[in-house]
Amino acid sequence: MVEDSLDSVPGDAATARRPPSTFARDTTVTDTSVYERFDREWPDCWADAAALLEWDEPYDEVLDADDAPFYRWFVGGRLNAAENCIDRHLEAGRKNQVAIRWEGKRGERRTYTYYDLHREVTAVAAALRELGVEADDVVTLYLPTVPELPITMLACARIGALHNVVFAGFAPDALLGRMEQDDSSVLVTCDGYFHEGTAVGQKRKADAALAALESTIPTVVVDRLGADHDTQLGADQYAYSALADRFEGATVPPVSRAATDPLFHIHTSGTTGEPQRMTHATGGYLAGTTWTTRAVFDLSPGDTYWCTADMGWITGHSYVVYGPLARGATVVLTEGSLRYPDRHRPWEVIERNAVNVFYTTPGVVRTFMKWGESFPAAHDRSSLRLLGTVGEPIGPDTWEWFYTHVGEERCPIVDTWWQTETGSILLSTLPGVSEMKPGAVGPPLPGIEARAVDENGRELPPGEPGSLTITKPWPSMITPLESDRYWVLAEYWQQFSDRRADTWQYATGDRAVVDDDGYITIIGRDDDVVTIGNRRLGTAELEAAITAVDGVTEAAAVAGSADGDTDLYVFATAEQDLTGREALRESISDAIVDRIGRFASPAAVVFTPELPETHTGKTMYRVLEGIVDDAPLEDSEPLRNPEIVGELTTLWGRN
């Protein structure tokens, strides 16, 4: 028999914090009855989200449940996402407000007002039409964090085309597969970009993928490297700047789209398995992201907002582009690593741009912790009003450091949970209303129902770990727009259907604990477990024990069979100035034995400068498992820091 083990979870009510009174007084959502009202009026409560948008034609009904579980939102309504992100702000007298502030890898800076953004988006939209792009065609974008990326995304939305953003660090084969799957009509890429001061040939990678396509498609190339790097354009390839200049001043009315029409495709790229394509519909997605941007991030027109996510992932779509721009905020974009050219860069960005809301991953915060509090302390952070995290659970110690050394104990932290599939945040505190519990993500947002269930789909009592499920649909959920894609949704919604036919449940794949107050603590993926001594141990539980040891900043626990038997192996990062690593190894082993039992005592503890992480901040366990089991890594593309693989292999060899 394999058992679950969970001795304790973070988010203790004794450590709960109220939002500062000044913040609570001035925030956009202050009414605690919003939860009760949304529950009482569901699903019509989501008309509140739709009311934040401009509609060309009003919708007939909020929710169409005829094809459940494949729900459709705001049926009959028509709107355009780009118009909601740009045009309406011009009409509201905000044309001279800054929409985007971009800081390049080499210190370059560009600023776009909403009027500037409108002109360039319209020009690019006209250029895409000239290249043959029509409504419902797909344009693949293969770009780093440069302004041309969100501009082209919005240009696609303006003419009713779908964008398919591919992370710039992916190899040609990954790009090829995504273009083929989406039947791309046009590719937009760049000549290259800079990585730690070295030029990376992006067009060379794009050309390799294009050469393998069965048919030729037009390619638009952004000049990122500058005049010092000569780029040759081939047949059916066009310079972005020449097209933008040619169509400057063009008139391209936004194409009115049905709320149920697709806005974009996006491919997941998790820590295990193959990428899967998801599609989000225009009305529900935009309503969900705009409402949560207002309610969770408290963003209003004119606020300055910085999210460190790459636009190749769903966080970049929802909370770099669509949500903040629909709210009329000023979005800060930063190219390249936060540590380049030095560790002062994040705090200089906040100080220079007077950032109000800062949204990042717990992994980034742990990196800040390793660098030390002297770096944020050297800069003015008085503009900050709210902090947020996403991508993985944030431990109580990391939460406290973020709250104290970045937010100066005056900025609420919204610890958000959501997925590519959900499109927008589903679990979080409302910063002007809810208490914060360090380590607990918070309750479901108004209008959302979530619970922890057993293997039969039955709700578990408070304190018992189970599978996290969402039990009501929400506007920004993924939508099946082609019949051959129905399996993507079916695998989520049919998990419990044979056991609880009377209950609609979306199986998230995460494990969670719900406390007496309804606050949810995420304890890892259902498949993020190791089996030691015939006992199933959640990696989050093990890692919580390890990171509670003084001097340890981050940890990952994996099972492996390096010596023939299956044992526990720990990879950990430590404070920079720490000495006595052998004593720390013993402390880690003792902490696991005390929390879990002697059977789980690790076979080895390896100290590393960093853990391998995806660009969304998740630890890539299969890299560590491969190192322990001496299995070659087949694909490092999803890694934010692929260089750490070689270093980890060397460190393991010295173990």
CA atoms within 13 A on the CB side of 340: 14
What mean pLDDT is predicted for residues 322-336? 97
In this prediction, residue 483 has a pLDDT band, given cuts at 50, 70 and 90, of very low
DSSP secondary structure code for residue 87 in this structure? I
Whether 270 and 146 have beta carbons less than 8 Å apart is answered as no
**Burial grade of 410 (CB within 10 A; 0-12, 13-18, 19 or more):** middle
Q: What is the pLDDT of residues 606-644, one digit of tens each?
A: 999 888 887 767 788 888 888 888 876 655 556 777 778
What mean pLDDT is predicted for residues 512-521? 95
Q: How far apart are CA 470 and CA 90, in angstroms?
A: 38
- Closest by CA to 474, choosing from 428, 423, 514, 434, is 423
pLDDT on residue 506: 87
Find tokens 């995290």 and name the residue.
Answer: 389
In this prediction, residue 188 has a pLDDT band, given cuts at 50, 70 and 90, of very high
Inform me whether the pLDDT recorded for 500 exceeds 80.
no
pLDDT on residue 632: 66
Helix/strand/coil for 606: strand
What mean pLDDT is predicted for residues 133-159? 97
Would you identify the CATH topology of the domain 528-654?
GMP Synthetase; Chain A, domain 3 (3.30.300)
pLDDT on residue 620: 84
CA atoms within 13 A on the CB side of 478: 27
Find tokens 């208490």 and name the residue.
Answer: 435
DSSP 369-403: HHH-THHHHTS--TT--EEEE-SSPPPHHHHHHII
Q: What is the pLDDT of residues 15-42, one digit of tens each?
A: 788 888 778 777 888 888 999 999 999 9
Share of the chain above pLDDT 90, in %: 59
Higher pLDDT, 10 or 271: 10
In this prediction, residue 492 has a pLDDT band, given cuts at 50, 70 and 90, of low
Tokens for 244? Answer: 């933008």
Q: Buried b / exposed e across 369-387, counting CB within 10 Å, b at 16+?
A: bbbeeebbeeeebeebbbb
Inform me whether the pLDDT recorded for 65 exceeds 90.
no
Tokens for 111? Answer: 């600023």
Domain 1-80+256-523 CATH superfamily: ANL, N-terminal domain (3.40.50.12780)
Tokens for 377? Answer: 């302390």
Q: What is the pLDDT of residues 430-463, one digit of tens each?
A: 998 999 999 999 999 999 999 999 888 889 999 9
Tokens for 396? Answer: 């109580």
Share of the chain above pLDDT 70, in %: 89
- The domain spans of the chain are 1-80+256-523, 528-654
Higher pLDDT, 307 or 525: 307
In this prediction, residue 47 has a pLDDT band, given cuts at 50, 70 and 90, of very high
Helix/strand/coil for 64: strand
- Closest by CA to 585, choosing from 605, 558, 566, 563, is 605
Q: Other CB atoms closer than 10 Å to residue 392's CB: what's the count?
A: 20
In this prediction, residue 491 has a pLDDT band, given cuts at 50, 70 and 90, of low
Q: Other CB atoms closer than 10 Å to residue 444's CB: what's the count?
A: 24
Q: What is the pLDDT of residues 552-590, one digit of tens each?
A: 888 889 887 765 567 889 999 887 666 678 899 999 999
Tokens for 393? Answer: 């659970």
275 phi/psi in degrees, rounded to 5: -60, 145
Q: What is the pLDDT of residues 69-82, one digit of tens each?
A: 778 999 999 999 99
Helix-, strand-, coil-residue percentages of the chain, each rounded to 5 = 30, 25, 45
Higher pLDDT, 226 or 9: 226
Of the ranges 78-82, 484-488, 506-510, 572-576, which one carries the lowest mean pLDDT score?
A: 484-488
pLDDT on residue 550: 87
pLDDT on residue 285: 98
> Which residues on neighbouring strands pair with residue 240, listed in sequence order?
none
Helix residue ranges per DSSP H, 526-565? 539-547
DSSP secondary structure code for residue 222 in this structure? E
Cis amide prior to 254 (ω within 30 degrees):
no
Residue 235 CB contacts under 8 Å (≥ 6 apart), including other chains: 216
Tell me what the pLDDT averaged over the chain comes to. Answer: 88
What mean pLDDT is predicted for residues 336-348? 90
Q: What is the pLDDT of residues 248-287, one digit of tens each?
A: 999 999 999 999 999 999 987 544 446 788 999 999 999 9
Inform me whether the pLDDT recorded for 495 exceeds 80.
no
Helix residue ranges per DSSP H, 62-184? 81-82, 88-91, 114-130, 148-158, 172-182
Inform me whether the pLDDT recorded for 534 exceeds 90.
no
What mean pLDDT is predicted for residues 498-506? 59
Residue 71 CB contacts under 8 Å (≥ 6 apart), including other chains: 63, 64, 65, 473, 477
Tokens for 402? Answer: 């973020």
Helix/strand/coil for 110: strand
Q: What is the pLDDT of residues 389-413, one digit of tens each?
A: 998 888 888 999 999 999 999 999 9
**CA 557 and chain centroid, separation:** 23
SS (H, E, C) 413-467: EEECECCCCCCCCCECCCCCCCCECCCCCECECCCCCEEEECCCCCECCCCCCEE
pLDDT on residue 553: 83
CA atoms within 13 A on the CB side of 512: 30
